[in-house]
Structure 1
Amino acid sequence: MRDLEQGGGFPWFSSYDKGVPHEIVLPEGGLGTILDNAAASYGQRDAVVFQNNRISYSQLKILAETVAASLRKRGVQPGDRVSIMLPNLPQTFIAFWGVMKAGAIAVMTNPLYMESELTHQIKDSGARHLITLDIFWPKIAALRESLGLEVCYVTRVRDGLRFPLSWLQPFSARRQGTWVSVPFDGRTVVAWKDLFATSERLSVEVTDAAKTIALLQYTGGTTGVAKGAMLTHANLLANLTQLMAIVQQPPEKEHVFLALLPLFHVFGLTITLLLPARMAARVVPMPRYVPADMLEAFKKYKFTAFIGAPSVYISLLQQKNLAQYDLHHIVFCISGSAPMPVEWLKKFEEVTGTPITEGFGLTEASPVTHANPVFGRQKPGSIGVPVPSTVARIVDTEDGDKVLGPNEIGELVVKGPQVMAGYWQRPQETARTVRDGWLYTGDIAYMDEEGYFYIVDRKKDLIIVGGYNVYPREIDEVLHSHPKIREAVTVGVNHRSRGETVKAYIVPEEGVTLTVPEVVAFCRQKLASFKVPRLIEFRDELPKSMVGKVLRRILRDEELQKNTTERDEEGLQDVPSVSESGPEDGGKAQDSSVPSAQPSEKAE
């Protein structure tokens, strides 16, 4: 950073909270040292609390190292990829740390993925071992041969509970019709409890954190097929150290985190699994966002750290009985995935006494690169300033090299120790995205005179729905495969709580009858629920360039003129929400005890 500072200085340093360093000192070792340190210094503190189950940091370390030993017995070697396909449960924490202790690479897998998405990720990563929940077993069983999985470890909700809930849960699942029979054989399909049928423990030492991959986190970047961002132990440790520097919370203070963001998402993993461990904090995983349940959880656990997407904050503030709950115990809040409307920022601070800190990140940066000062001056609509040891600048979108001045709009590029090692087995795409250490984000932005950055647009046609990346081309291809559709194109339109929602423009084949429900049903068979268009408009033709290219820009401009944010709720050919809790839960709670999780920040 010092050589870059000499070339022009960093105006954002003057906006840092008092005590926040300009640069961080990277810790030695791998991620496992975080758990080791927490267990050594605060072993009796609760690490995870889920319903009637409490796991201390000492216990979590033992459980993780036992899982690591069992994985090694079943063939997992350092550097092997292990897919973790779980919602927010205690088992997710144990599985992740177990994979780290085994020296393997975690591949966090979205349980909402459809067949093509799941197949691509597992095969591309080369994962031969998968840890999942019983309700997802039918999906895995149908694909086992094509996925090339050698061993599947299957857990049940009851495994995360203590007696008597662990005894009652199977009866509840059978009564609700959510019980899944799994063909455990102890070899290729292993029960979760069998991982603990050993007294052995394993903890692999990471000797070169900068070159040892800890996590393959899949993302499309700014466009294209999903790619595995190679996040090393050093990358993730750097981001944790940067976050610790800006939140400035002493380890003696006992914090309580709400883990609502899905842990299979890089933001949820970093902020609500890794950061709490670094702080020896208690984490309460919540697999599904239900406003009433969350308010009761606030009352019971007195959360001090609250991290969520704008849609969660807004929904919470809209609860009629909100005044009955005291939320003043919150010390810091972080919001990502979309800008928070100013009126809601003000209202939240009025209710809680704590401002919401808006920031920015992307998978390729582990993920956080920017944040408004947690306790200092925050600028609504801004993503804040670069975190310590991170440099950001705006460059010309055409040549990518010319550095632009304050308030000039161009592409945001960042450099720092949290930037990925590259894309898994994709050197050419890595070279396009990371140039001379600079990560080209694909986001159009500007920096003001004080070093605060603002995102104004996206370089590509990426749509972000409640924090999830949605790629129009993928949806377009699905729509074009429908026999009654001649042409189709999708764009992102504004939504008051999700940031954006997907709208499809469709030109039917001549002489056919095509309905909105028919299109939606077709998409739901082939796409994850958050990718299914919420708005559908039938047209006679689509706007095109002279060479026949459909002009998405014109369609987006039309939507801006129509004030789509308001009309979305009025339902002009509006597809009904998949469920009360939004498009993320796939239309139904697979198991009443483990509903689906909410999404998180900008990157996938």
Structure 2
Amino acid sequence: MGGYDERPWLARYDEGQPSDIEPEFTDALAMFRASAERNPDGDILRYFDGRITLRELDELSDAFAAGLLDAGFSAGERVALYLQNVPQFVIALVGTWKAGGIAVNINPMNRARELDLLLRDSGATVLVCLQGLYRDVAESVAGDAGVTTVITTSELEYQTRDDPRVFSGTERIDLPGTVDMAGLIDRFRGHRPPPVSFSPGDTAVLTYTSGTTGPPKGAMNTHGNVVFNSQAYRQWCGLGQDDVVLGVAPLFHITGLISHVTLSLLLGAPLVLFCRFEPSLAIETIRDERPTFTVGSITVFIALMNAPDAERDALTSLTKIWSGGAPIPPSTVTAFSATFGQYIHNIYGLTETTSPSHGVPPGAEAPVDKASGALSVGVPIYNTVVRIVGDDGKDVPPGEIGEIVTTGPQVVPGYWNKPEETAAALPGGALHTGDVGYMDDNGWFYIVDRKKDQINAGGYKVWPREVEDVLYEHEAVREAAVVGVPDEYRGETVKAFVSLRPGRTVSAEELIAFARERMAAYKYPRQVEFLDEIPKTVTGKLLRRELRTREQES
């Protein structure tokens, strides 16, 4: 199942649009250099009232790379980026590549336990993080996790507005034992690191994905993966140098990395950043900066609709909108169009597909599955073959449900230092996604269920066992089982079923607070229900499926 010649639905490909595309560059750094040579004085980053041109980004990233190399950094080493949506993310990313390194994207909501795990797994020797995150989280784990150089920075840099909606309580901090990023760049400004080049198969970024059978795994997004899907976004969405990209997706996430950062580097088009998403600030930014394109979780667009200043003309410039990361209710697409007059195109992919493997083409509207009410996630993008396979591993015909299996130039070669997990998920290079769906007679794909227990909370993936392990740390908890339950805003949220030890008491609110202190904000349970016994199999395995069914029937 796949290949454009097999699908009758897209006349646009009979009108001169390509069905396949060829990579224009061997690596992500080369595509940035081409843009910098083509339009050096064009804006590449806009951050509140700050502006950074392509020429300036080239100089800033040169200085960052020179500073890394001066500190003993070697090609192939890893640099962990523990940052919000700030210009320093892009500077450090490009600078890491110029030093011959691999970037490691880390969610800034991760707490000490989670950060420690990812630093140790990646073997990162350099950590770039916000000052507040170092003080509150990273200081306690960085050294023991193997980090030898910590570079800190403030979200107040590169702008002067200090908007209280995102910067309230933020101040610059002096942190002994760390390297100030601004000082590092000033010290090495004008230095050029030795030339470096990568092959398409070299790893550009480690992007961590929470699996459903164990701890997070570092997907090895190669330079070839990054270049291909950056080009795919450009071609699929009809983008050029005159577009302006609105950065609403987190840059550490594969969606933000590709559809915001590397796409902008390829286009040489401005990327508009505002640190953290806040609906009224986003609407104000759209009015001021006139972005034309974005990709974000459906929760972003729900928040924009519910903002006090959600007037019909608020998003008039934003004519190219796609949404991915979480299921999209068809009613939300209709409501958004009624509010702003813009259509939200679905897009689908995984960390392991380096962002998109499917998308709704511009000018088309996704059909809705009549039986389940699910909105189609689109059709396979360029050069991508997608199969629906049954439990026997054989293809099933259109209309029948099975697992989605994807091959294409955007699929990663594997997981960092995890050969067994790689062999299980990517036999022969074909990604077994774990998502269950079907393809209709016209080539549209639908996701109808999840093969495993993973929870998708507003585009963030949550592994139930991790939440359960934290709950088990509480002295009153005897057993815990965590499942995803429907949530109007996030699509799905985390609920914990808990049984208590004899003679112990604890309230739901206390358990939620306990978990919140120990986990990223999207992971901790929003609901807790107490049971005398958690349902289990005869072998003692928790029956999450039974708990989910019970929730659906209640």
TM-score exceeds 0.5 = yes
- 8 Å Cα contact 2:283/2:309 also seen in 1: no
Q: Which residue identity is paired with 1:229?
A: A
Counterpart among 255, 262, 265 of residue 253 in structure 2: 265
Residues 202-601 of structure 1: matches in 2 within 5 Å? 202=193, 204-210=195-201, 212-251=202-241, 254-323=242-311, 325-380=313-368, 381-396=375-390, 398-399=391-392, 401-562=393-554
- 8 Å Cα contact 1:15/1:373 also seen in 2: no
Distance, in Å, in 1 between the alignment partners of 2:103 and 2:150 is 14
Using the TM superposition, give the Cα deviation of residue 16 of structure 1 relative to its aligned residue in structure 2, in angstroms: 5.5
- 8 Å Cα contact 1:245/1:388 also seen in 2: no
- 8 Å Cα contact 1:103/1:204 also seen in 2: no
Deviations 1:361-393 (A, max 9, x none): 111111210001122242241110000000001
Q: Which residue identity is paired with 1:482?
A: H
Distance, in Å, in 2 between the alignment partners of 1:206 and 1:127 is 21
Using the TM superposition, give the Cα deviation of residue 544 of structure 1 relative to its aligned residue in structure 2, in angstroms: 2.6
Distance change in 2, residues 1:12/1:426 (3 Å): farther
Deviations 1:388-440 (A, max 9, x none): 000001001x23x2111101111000000011021111111111111122111
Distance, in Å, in 2 between the alignment partners of 1:286 and 1:105 is 25
- 8 Å Cα contact 1:372/1:379 also seen in 2: no
Deviations 1:421-475 (A, max 9, x none): 2111111111111112211101111111111111111111000111111011111
Deviations 1:211-254 (A, max 9, x none): x1111111123432111111110111111122222112344xx1
Which residue matches 1:181? 174
Using the TM superposition, give the Cα deviation of residue 9 of structure 1 relative to its aligned residue in structure 2, in angstroms: 5.5
Q: Which residue identity is paired with 2:196?
A: E
- 8 Å Cα contact 2:294/2:320 also seen in 1: yes
Distance, in Å, in 2 between the alignment partners of 1:126 and 1:547 is 37
* Aligned residue pair count: 544
Three-state SS of the structure 1 residue aligned to 2:100 is coil
Using the TM superposition, give the Cα deviation of residue 297 of structure 1 relative to its aligned residue in structure 2, in angstroms: 1.1
Distance, in Å, in 2 between the alignment partners of 1:222 and 1:513 is 31
Which has the larger displacement, 502-511 or 408-417? 502-511
Distance, in Å, in 1 between the alignment partners of 2:8 and 2:378 is 9
- 8 Å Cα contact 2:388/2:396 also seen in 1: yes
- 8 Å Cα contact 1:327/1:351 also seen in 2: no
Q: Which residue identity is paired with 1:125?
A: S
Q: Which residue identity is paired with 1:407?
A: G
Deviations 1:250-308 (A, max 9, x none): 44xx1111112111111111111111221221111122222211111111111211221
Which residue matches 1:572? none
Which residue matches 2:185? 195
Which residue matches 2:372? none
Three-state SS of the structure 2 residue aligned to 1:159 is coil
Which residue matches 1:585? none
Distance, in Å, in 2 between the alignment partners of 1:313 and 1:436 is 38
Using the TM superposition, give the Cα deviation of residue 103 of structure 1 relative to its aligned residue in structure 2, in angstroms: 1.5
- 8 Å Cα contact 1:20/1:248 also seen in 2: no
Three-state SS of the structure 2 residue aligned to 1:146 is coil
Residues 112-191 of structure 1: matches in 2 within 5 Å? 112-138=109-135, 139-161=137-159, 176=169, 178-184=171-177, 189-191=179-181
Deviations 1:91-128 (A, max 9, x none): 11111111112221000111211222111111111111
Which residue matches 2:6? 10
Deviations 1:142-189 (A, max 9, x none): 123311111111112343225xx5xx899x98x9475533115xxx63
Deviations 1:485-510 (A, max 9, x none): 11110100011121110001111122
Distance, in Å, in 2 between the alignment partners of 1:276 and 1:538 is 49
Distance change in 2, residues 1:506/1:529 (3 Å): same
Q: Which residue identity is paired with 1:359?
A: I
Find runs of 4+ consecutive structure 1 residues off by over 6 angstroms.
none
Deviations 1:322-346 (A, max 9, x none): 2264322222101012222222212
Distance, in Å, in 2 between the alignment partners of 1:179 and 1:55 is 21
- 8 Å Cα contact 2:245/2:269 also seen in 1: yes
Unaligned runs of 5+ in 1: 563-604
Deviations 1:71-104 (A, max 9, x none): 1111122211111111111111111111112221
**CA RMSD, Structure 1 to Structure 2 (Å):** 2.3
Distance, in Å, in 1 between the alignment partners of 2:8 and 2:206 is 31
Distance, in Å, in 2 between the alignment partners of 1:452 and 1:15 is 14
Deviations 1:8-65 (A, max 9, x none): 9532664666543221111232111221121122222211111221111121112112
- 8 Å Cα contact 2:366/2:377 also seen in 1: no
Name which structure has the greater RCO, CA cutoff 8 Å, separation 6+.
1
Residues 8-87 of structure 1: matches in 2 within 5 Å? 10-11=6-7, 14=10, 18-87=15-84
- 8 Å Cα contact 2:345/2:361 also seen in 1: yes
Three-state SS of the structure 2 residue aligned to 1:118 is helix
Distance, in Å, in 2 between the alignment partners of 1:259 and 1:488 is 37
How many percent identity over aligned positions? Answer: 35
